[in-house]
Amino acid sequence: MAIDNEQYELILMDLEEKTEKTISVLKSEYASIRAGRANPHILDKVLVDYYGTPTPINQVGNISVTDARCLVIAPWDSSMLKVIEKQLLADNIGITPSNDGKVIRLVFPILTEERRKELVKQVKKLGEDSKVAIRNIRRDALESYKKMKNNKEISEDEYAGAEKEVEKIVAKAVEQVEKVSADKEKDILTV
């Protein structure tokens, strides 16, 4: 059903954009959860004081994965070693850094079964939070359409069509959240 109403289309576009952003945020949250393997994304949220400016670690040096369980941070300015090490300890990422005067090594310990279960709970909670956010976005879109219907900007049939479109977009987004969550759980539980 084609409706020649710009507001109608804007609401749908806004709904899609917000659900995609929610999924994108979830993926970035999952990237920062470590699954026993060295993953540079665990450092994405760590900011170090670089000459008075909070700066992401990946902008003050090279981060490389030397083997499956070891990350190496090689700052471009060796005076940053202590600052980076101090910030890693302060941010409590769950790994103690070791500084050899040239680079900082982060050795990821093998996850225990108990820790894996904790991480799975965290993954499930983040997934549920994303689903709640998507449902809130759906509610806002439906309220906008209801206002349009009450103001006689769209008919009952157009409102019913809008509801179906909204539900289709939301169902697709929830399905994506479930898939991303299941993939991350599988990743964590794989020994």
Considering the domain architecture, whether residues 66 and 123 belong to the same structural domain is answered as no
User: For residue 25, what is the domain's CATH number?
Assistant: 1.10.132.20
Per-residue pLDDT at 2 exceeds 80: no
Structure tokens at 10: 């804007």
Q: Is residue 1 part of a domain?
A: no
Give me the amino acid identity at 188: I
Distance CA 11, CA 57 (A): 38
Domain identity same for 117 and 184: yes
Do 47 and 141 reside in the same domain of the chain? no
Task: Decide if 52 is inside a domain.
Answer: yes
**Average pLDDT of the residues of the chain:** 86
CB 111 within 8 A of CB 98: no
Give the domain extent around 154: 6-32+112-189
Task: Name residue 173's amino acid.
Answer: A
Domain total for the chain?
2
98: domain CATH number is 3.30.1360.40
pLDDT grade for 36, boundaries at 50, 70 and 90: low
CA angle at residue 18 from 21 to 12, to 5 degrees? Answer: 140
Residue 78 lies in a domain: yes
pLDDT tens digits for range 121-173: 989 999 999 999 999 999 999 999 999 889 888 888 888 999 999 999 999 99
| CA–CA dist 146, 156 (Å, integer) | 10
- Report the pLDDT value the prediction gives residue 167, as an integer from 0 to 100: 94
Q: Which residue has the higher pLDDT, 43 or 144?
A: 144
10 Å CB burial of residue 123 (0-12, 13-18, 19+) is buried
Domain boundary pick from 50, 84, 107: 107
What pTM does this model have? 0.70
Report the alpha-carbon distance of residue 66 to residue 99 in Å, rounded: 15
Same domain, yes or no: 117 and 98: no
Percent of the chain with pLDDT over 90: 31
Q: Which residues of 147-175 are buried (b: 16+ CB within 10 A; e: fewer)?
A: ebbeeeebeeebbebbeebbeebbeebbe
* 21 and 50 together in one domain: no
- Tens digit of pLDDT for each residue in 84-132? 888 888 887 777 888 888 899 988 877 788 888 888 898 999 999 999 9
